[in-house]
Amino acid sequence: MGSCPSVKNILVLDSEGKRVAVKYYSDEWPSVSSKLAFEKSVFVKTQKTSARTEAEVVMFDGYIIVYKFIQDLHFFVTGGDEENELILASVLQGFSDAVGLLLRNNVDKRTALENLDLIFLCLDEVVDGGIVLETDANLIAEKVSGHGLEGAGSFTEQTISQALATAREHFARSLLK
Amino acid sequence: MAQPLVVKKDDDCDEEEYYSPFLGIEKGAVLQEARVFHDPQLDARRCCQVITKLLYLLNQGDTFTKVEATEVFFATTKLFQSKDAGLRRMVYLMIKELSPSADEVIIVTSSLMKDMNSKTDMYRANAIRVLCRIIDSTLLTQIERYLKQAIVDKNPVVASAALVSGIYLLQTSPEIVKRWSNEVQEAVQSRAALVQFHALALLHQIRQNDRLAVSKLVTSLTRGSVRSPLAQCLLIRYTSQVIRESGMNTQGGDRPFFDFLESCLRNKAEMVILEAARAITDLNGVTSRELTPAITVLQLFLSSSKPVLRFAAVRTLNKVASTHPLAVTNCNIDMESLISDQNRSIATLAITTLLKTGNESSVDRLMKQMTNFMSDIADEFKIVVVEAIRSLCLKFPLKYRSLMNFLSNILREEGGFDYKKAIVDSIIILIRDIPDAKESGLFHLCEFIEDCEFTYLSTQILHFLGNEGPKTSDPSKYIRYIYNRVILENATVRASAVSTLAKFGALVDALKPRIFVLLRRCLFDGDDEVRDRATLYIKLLDGEATVGETDKDVTEFLFGSLDVPLVNLETSLWNYEPSEVPFDISSVPKETKSQPLAEKKATGKKSAGPAAVNGPVPTVDASYEKLLSSIPEFASFGKPFKSSAPVELTEAETEYSVNVVKHIYDGHVVLQYNCTNTIPEQLLEEVVVFVDASEAEEFSEVASKPLRSLPYDSPGQTFVAFEKPEGVLATGKFSNILKFIVKEVDSSTGEADDDGVEDEYQLEDFEIISADYMLKVGVSNFRNAWESMDLESERVDEYGLGVRESLGEAVSAVISILGMQPCEGTDVVQNNSRSHTCLLSGVFIGNVKVLVRLSFGISGPKEVAMKLAVRSDDPEVSDRIHEIVANG
């Protein structure tokens, strides 16, 4: 107590408990094997619950973990057992919503892997070294995609051909829908 | 720019059922691909893909060798040539992930510093975050100017990036970050929510060692300039810290800042409400009037549709129920509906809360609900429930029958070791504390060992059975269960059963001949230990055969407990070197960390709030003893009686950090000063502490042992020894000055200058108090110990303690004056109780055992009176204890 709220890790696992993207901010899990063991126990303990509509919460081994499942992706945010769980929940909400915005609501393992760079950037923008950086999903998504933050300035940085490529992609996608 | 669906272009073969863009990915191949980073014409999109693949590998737990990492790092730095924003983001990420070594960092600093001053906010923010993660303090001074600017940048993202980096840098280069106070203070007033939060966190960390400054900060901010919910949560934490540190010295009246905490309960953001409610429930000695508003908001949360909110509320209320069960009873109806909550964490917390708040009449009904509940929760939750039932049973001893039945039922069901152990421990504690429960409890345990797969539990129960069984009305009925173990179990359990049989034989004369028969059979056991024990016990019980052994010796041998803690015995045995001198068990230090029984009882009702925790209990460290005996000057002093916990003589984060350990001998005191030099550029030599003992008349300095040299960051010790009259409680105050010769150290070569300068450093004073002459030694059964002491040695007197904040405060004050070990958890005072009895035990210098029984009473205007009864091995010491209290 008396210190800054801190997030110990954020995990995105698939429906079998395998890593999609994870980020540890605390050195409580020094080795890869201890990290994997933690992920496994988190996955097993939450597997049977349904955290589809509302975020759920579980406490074990001195950690509080809030989590949410979207399609075949499981999102987890871990904090210490003295932590305010509502702060952790707001981090989870911000992160998972931002992922939703960035993946245009196609939140599933396949889309996530195809756009893994966005997920990594998202993790980078939500928490820095355990300290909450941003919890507003719109702002996080904006920072990741680069829109909004630089405003119109971003276009000058693009070459004409890149702009055309982007346009073509947008067009192709709209046709596919 | 990062674009969605980047990878898809590569493999547009959608026909596969399930595919991953990283299927069959291989490190070597990806590292080959990273060559595109060197292309003169950079393909930004392709580079992005490669970086993503590299990050994916790292994220999956793959590691790069040093060479590979360096290669990737250098290749990545080439990408700064590209102007593509998306690629640049990935480059930043990659650099952070690789965490380059100091000599590599130089390559990117100029690029990053350029980005730090870019017109693009996104570049600025990210470049700051990356740079601060990888640079050292010398480089930091070069960019300090830009960071200060960034803190007050009008773009919140940039400001936050700089502030968060500041929090990180504070750990490595505190002196630089502390110079940013003004800018950080300005940022606290920012209108952007997150900037406010980050600035507040940094500002507090800069000032955390300065209580006054923190208090001022809280005072100014609680007036309402903080709006961001996260920042408000922080402020609430800092406020409760200030309240805690301001202590109890506000006589009655309103608590400072309580209004602020209460107003936060009406905040819009739920996280702030929760934080405030928790802060209030955690307040030291919180009154029910203060609790009410917090409980009310938490009660609303209980019926929320959000699981996290329900969990948060029930978790907090559960904690409150341990100390203020009455305050929580209003929520009982909401709690009961939570027993069927989907989330089992919530359900378990609700059940245990109800068990804590329940009254005698509701116990049976609750037990009925529990039976269904237990079958569908995990072991770890069951343990929580068992512990709650144990404390409930201790609270309502009349209800032991239904609770004991419940415990024995769940003992028969499936479960892991920890769960079974919790149940067995509970039953044992109930048997010990509720005499009526003894027979049925022992019977349940006997049933259990008939079919128990855990050796540890079997032996534990057998041992307990041996102590308690013979004292029951019909001891013979247990023999069957015990002898069955000898026939059916493994060697460890068999040996334990033999010991138990012997105990029955020793105490119950009627059974003796039959026990002999059984023990003789054990002489043919296949295991050495079992046979040895049987032989030993047959000899022992066959009293007539051995000369000099009386019945008393036999019982002493069988039932006498080891009066030294096993941990200490173990370390002493490790230190023992085989020689002519046999190992002497009386040389093992007896000081323990805490009483096991008191501990077990306390777990059920953990004291709330960090302030309720006693100071760390000193233990005689075997390493001290070794250190001291290696110094010839002190060899003549004998064995140290006690070594105190280190007392800090310097503030945190000063140039030299010094603490003192007081070693008390019969006729001497040795002060051990532990010094640490925290300045890399200095080497200290001939370090000595000059002690002024003019305010400690009975002490005279006899020896001093200086420290030859004290290099940076490697602690060293210097000693000063005093003589004091033996048998007198010499106390007094000591002032200290650290004297030394300081030499400059060249940071590049590590060589020290030849010439040094004499210097001195003022340390804080400390005292030797009467508690230093008392060892904290617990007793397992206070009543027995008390009654076995000579009545002649008892001294009783009454004292008025004047007006006190609370009974608890008076109790802990007297405990700390005497420096004795509280027994059976009696150092914890129930809230709002008007009287309290506290049991203390200890060993006074000269190895005199002392027991103290304190009875406290508090009157309306908080006037506390105390009756002190002392018994000890030496009546003079009893008088001494009264003197200590009278002078305290």
For chains A and B, what is the number of CB pairs under 8 angstroms? Answer: 177
Instruction: Mutate one of B11, B59, B60 to test the A interface: name it (highest A CB count within 10 A).
Output: B59
Instruction: Mutate one of B1, B160, B306, B348 to test the A interface: name it (highest A CB count within 10 A).
Output: B1
**Hey, is the C-beta of B606 within 8 angstroms of any chain A C-beta?**
no
Q: Which residue has the higher pLDDT, A110 or B370?
A: A110
**Hey, is the C-beta of B197 within 8 angstroms of any chain A C-beta?**
yes
Q: Is the pLDDT of residue B873 over 70?
A: yes
**pLDDT > 90: what percent of chain B?**
16
d(CA B840, CA B629): 31
pLDDT average, residue stretch B881-886: 83
CB-CB under 8 Å, A66 with B308: yes
Model pLDDT, residue B477: 87
B 125-144 near A (Cβ less than 8 A): 129
Alpha carbon of residue B481 to chain centroid:
41
CB-CB under 8 Å, B122 with A131: no
Digits of tens for pLDDT over chain A (177 positions)?
457 889 999 999 999 999 999 999 998 999 999 999 999 999 998 988 888 888 999 988 889 999 999 989 999 999 998 899 999 999 999 999 999 999 998 899 999 999 999 999 999 999 999 999 999 999 999 888 875 433 333 344 445 555 566 666 666 666 555
State the nearest Cα–Cα gap between A149 and chain B, in angstroms.
7
Q: Which residue has the higher pLDDT, B348 or A65?
A: A65
CB-CB under 8 Å, A57 with B308: yes
Pick the residue from chain A with its C-alpha nearest to B7: A114
The answer, yes or no, to whether ipTM is higher than 0.90 is no
**pLDDT > 70: what percent of chain B?**
90
CB-CB under 8 Å, A1 with B233: no
State the nearest Cα–Cα gap between B629 and chain A, in angstroms.
39
Q: Which residue has the higher pLDDT, A23 or B644?
A: A23
State the nearest Cα–Cα gap between A96 and chain B, in angstroms.
16
Contacting residues for B703 by C-beta, under 8 A, at least 6 apart:
B633, B634, B719, B720, B721
Q: Six-digit token pair at B478?
A: 């247990």
d(CA A106, CA A173): 13
* Crossing angle for the helix pair B270-281 and B229-246, to the nearest 10 degrees: 10
CB-CB under 8 Å, B20 with A113: yes
Task: For B748-795, write each residue's pLDDT tens digit.
Answer: 777 777 788 888 888 888 888 888 888 888 777 788 788 888 888 888
Q: Six-digit token pair at B467?
A: 């102590």
Alpha helix (H) residue ranges in B751-863: 782-788, 807-818
Model pLDDT, residue B552: 61
CB-CB under 8 Å, A56 with B20: no
Pick the residue from chain B with its C-alpha nearest to A158: B84
Model pLDDT, residue B558: 67
CB-CB under 8 Å, B60 with A84: no
Q: For residue A73, how many other CB atoms are within 10 A of its CB?
A: 23
Q: Six-digit token pair at A130?
A: 């355990």
* Crossing angle for the helix pair B438-449 and B476-488, to the nearest 10 degrees: 20
Task: For B204-257, write each residue's pLDDT tens digit.
Answer: 999 888 888 888 888 888 887 788 899 999 999 999 888 888 765 554 556 778
Burial class (CB in 10 A: 0-12, 13-18, 19+), B91: buried
State the nearest Cα–Cα gap between A114 and chain B, in angstroms.
6
- Reported as a pLDDT band with limits 50, 70 and 90, residue B555 is low
Q: Is A129 left (phi over 0), alpha (psi -120 to 50) or beta?
A: left
CB-CB under 8 Å, A162 with B308: no
State the nearest Cα–Cα gap between A126 and chain B, in angstroms.
12
State the nearest Cα–Cα gap between B200 and chain A, in angstroms.
9
Question: Which of the 8 DSSP states describes residue B340?
Answer: T
Q: Which residue has the higher pLDDT, B48 or B877?
A: B48
B465 sits in which H/E element: helix B455-468
Model pLDDT, residue A172: 62
B 274-303 near A (Cβ less than 8 A): 274-275, 278, 282
Q: Worst-scoring range by mean pLDDT, A118-122, B64-68, B151-155, B630-634?
A: B630-634
**Hey, is the C-beta of B234 within 8 angstroms of any chain A C-beta?**
yes
State the nearest Cα–Cα gap between B345 and chain A, in angstroms.
6
Facing residue for B52 by CB, picked from A116, A128, A131:
A116
CB-CB under 8 Å, B48 with A131: no
B220 sits in which H/E element: helix B211-221
Task: For B7-38, write each residue's pLDDT tens digit.
Answer: 443 444 444 455 678 888 888 899 998 889 98
HSE toward the beta carbon, residue A115, CA cutoff 13 A: 25
- Reported as a pLDDT band with limits 50, 70 and 90, residue B621 is low
Question: Which of the 8 DSSP states describes residue B831?
Answer: T
A chain contacts of residue B307, beta-carbon cutoff 8 Å: 54-57
d(CA B444, CA B406): 11
CB-CB under 8 Å, B160 with A133: yes
- Reported as a pLDDT band with limits 50, 70 and 90, residue B560 is low
**Hey, is the C-beta of B668 within 8 angstroms of any chain A C-beta?**
no
B chain contacts of residue A173, beta-carbon cutoff 8 Å: 5
Alpha helix (H) residue ranges in A70-159: 85-102, 109-114, 116-126, 137-145, 153-157
In B604-731, beta strands by DSSP E = 642-643, 647-648, 656-664, 668-677, 682-695, 700-705, 707-710, 716-723
Q: Is the pLDDT of residue B428 over 50?
A: yes
Q: Is the pLDDT of residue B616 over 60?
A: no
Contacting residues for B708 by C-beta, under 8 A, at least 6 apart:
B685, B686
Q: What is the 3-state secondary structure (H, E, C) of B391-453?
A: HHHHHCHHHHHHHHHHHHHHHHCCCCHHHHHHHHHHHHHHHHHCHHHHHHHHHHHHHHHCCCC
Beta carbons of B664 and B642 less than 8 angstroms apart:
yes
d(CA A34, CA A130): 19
B 473-502 near A (Cβ less than 8 A): none
State the nearest Cα–Cα gap between B248 and chain A, in angstroms.
19
Q: What is the mean pLDDT of chain B?
A: 82
Model pLDDT, residue B226: 83
A chain contacts of residue B198, beta-carbon cutoff 8 Å: 131
Contacting residues for B377 by C-beta, under 8 A, at least 6 apart:
B344, B347, B348, B385
- Residue B254, helix vs strand vs coil: coil
Q: Is the pLDDT of residue B174 over 60?
A: yes
State the nearest Cα–Cα gap between A158 and chain B, in angstroms.
7
State the nearest Cα–Cα gap between B823 and chain A, in angstroms.
29
CB-CB under 8 Å, B160 with A116: no
Pick the residue from chain A with its C-alpha nearest to B54: A117
Burial class (CB in 10 A: 0-12, 13-18, 19+), B337: exposed
CB-CB under 8 Å, A85 with B311: yes
CA dist B429 → A122, B389, B453, B642 (Å): 53, 12, 22, 33
d(CA B736, CA B648): 12
Q: For residue B748, how many other CB atoms are within 10 A of its CB?
A: 6
Task: For B441-450, write each residue's pLDDT tens digit.
Answer: 888 888 888 8
CA dist B374 → B332, B405, B416, B452 (Å): 20, 14, 14, 20
- Reported as a pLDDT band with limits 50, 70 and 90, residue B325 is confident
B 156-185 near A (Cβ less than 8 A): 157, 160, 164, 167-168
Q: Which residue has the higher pLDDT, B398 or B249?
A: B398
Q: Six-digit token pair at B342?
A: 């989907």
**All domains of chain A, ordered by start, with CATH?**
7-176 (3.30.450.60)
d(CA A23, CA B347): 31
Task: For B122-173, write each residue's pLDDT tens digit.
Answer: 889 999 999 998 888 888 888 899 999 999 999 999 999 999 999 999 988 8
Q: For residue A125, how many other CB atoms are within 10 A of its CB?
A: 24
d(CA B369, CA B337): 11
Facing residue for B307 by CB, picked from A5, A57, A103:
A57
B 86-115 near A (Cβ less than 8 A): 86, 89-90, 93, 96
d(CA B800, CA B886): 10
Facing residue for B308 by CB, picked from A45, A55, A143:
A55
Alpha carbon of residue B83 to chain centroid:
52
Facing residue for B230 by CB, picked from A56, A87, A169:
A87
Facing residue for B22 by CB, picked from A35, A113, A117:
A113
Instruction: Mutate one of A25, A86, A156 to test the B interface: name it (highest B CB count within 10 A).
Output: A86
B 244-273 near A (Cβ less than 8 A): 270-271
**Hey, is the C-beta of B4 within 8 angstroms of any chain A C-beta?**
yes
Facing residue for B2 by CB, picked from A66, A104, A117:
A117
State the nearest Cα–Cα gap between A86 and chain B, in angstroms.
5
B chain contacts of residue A55, beta-carbon cutoff 8 Å: 306-308
B chain contacts of residue A45, beta-carbon cutoff 8 Å: 378
- Reported as a pLDDT band with limits 50, 70 and 90, residue B372 is confident
State the nearest Cα–Cα gap between A46 and chain B, in angstroms.
10
